[in-house]
Chains A and B, each alone.
Chain A
Amino acid sequence: EDQVTQSPEALRLQEGESSSLNCSYTVSGLRGLFWYRQDPGKGPEFLFTLYSAGEEKEKERLKATLTKKESFLHITAPKPEDSATYLCAVHRAQGGSEKLVFGKGTKLTVNP
């Protein structure tokens, strides 16, 4: 069964304190791993897509990396506006349908 596990469930950081969020997955035939940001009461917003082990992508203070079994979202010198829930999802194709399987998310709080 496909599984996506994110850790930690919640993370509190001080402004400027760098850290990483983890997404581990078991899926047959990974076709892509996605990171989304979700603010309270809103829909998720796309951040990154990663396709193969060793791939890295960056956007402002965020960098996403991928290995064969997990992905990390590194946050460098975070600011309070980075506070949000970060969702990881894996893309799989089965029986002619394309689906994303989501983890439960990591709620990040950055204190000033």
Chain B
Amino acid sequence: DGGITQSPKYLFRKEGQNVTLSCEQNLNHDAMYWYRQDPGQGLRLIYYSQIVNDFQKGDIAEGYSVSREKKESFPLTVTSAQKNPTAFYLCASSRSSDFNYGYTFGSGTRLTVV
């Protein structure tokens, strides 16, 4: 079955550490996105990529980095520069040519700073 796989489901980070969240899709979608979700804040866009080897900053990119070396993969690194990283992170993908269904989302990664 086609879909988006995010791993791990839960992740714990110590102060000063970088951590990487994985996102893989087998939907043959061109575009991929990373969102952060906090209680009462809704979904906020971190980074997005519409094509391999290209990506753009979203609304809250500071303290995060991404890469898009393959169409299927869009990993997100939360760096030590991100001062408040505890949140629920969602990866999504979409077709560039057909937006009928909006985004397809993964099941999320919950990151906690310990």
Q: Judge if B25 is at the interface, Cβ distance under 8 Å.
A: no
A49 at the interface (CB under 8 A from B): yes
Q: Classify chain A: how many residues form its interface, as a range.
A: 20 to 34
A36 neighbours in B (Cβ, 8 Å): 102, 105
Within 8 Å CB of B99, what residues of A?
31-32, 91, 98
Whether A46 pairs with B104 at a CB distance below 8 angstroms is yes
* Overall SS of chain B's interface: strand
Contact of B50 among A42, A87, A97 (CB under 8 A): A97
- CB of A99 closer than 8 Å to a CB of B: yes
**A43 and B96 form a contact (CB under 8 A):** no
Is B2 in contact with chain A by the CB < 8 A criterion? Answer: no
CB of B108 within 8 A of CB of A43, answer: yes
Can you pick out 25 interface pairs between chain A and chain B where the beta carbons lie within 8 Å of each other?
A9-B40, A31-B99, A32-B100, A34-B102, A36-B105, A41-B108, A42-B107, A43-B4, A43-B90, A44-B90, A44-B103, A46-B101, A46-B104, A49-B101, A89-B102, A91-B99, A91-B102, A97-B48, A98-B31, A98-B94, A98-B96, A99-B45, A100-B102, A100-B103, A104-B41
Residues of A within 8 A of B (CB): 9, 31-32, 34, 36, 41-46, 49, 87, 89, 91, 97-100, 102-105
B→A interface (CB under 8 Å): 4, 6, 31, 35, 40-43, 45, 48, 50, 56, 88, 90, 92, 94, 96, 99-108, 110
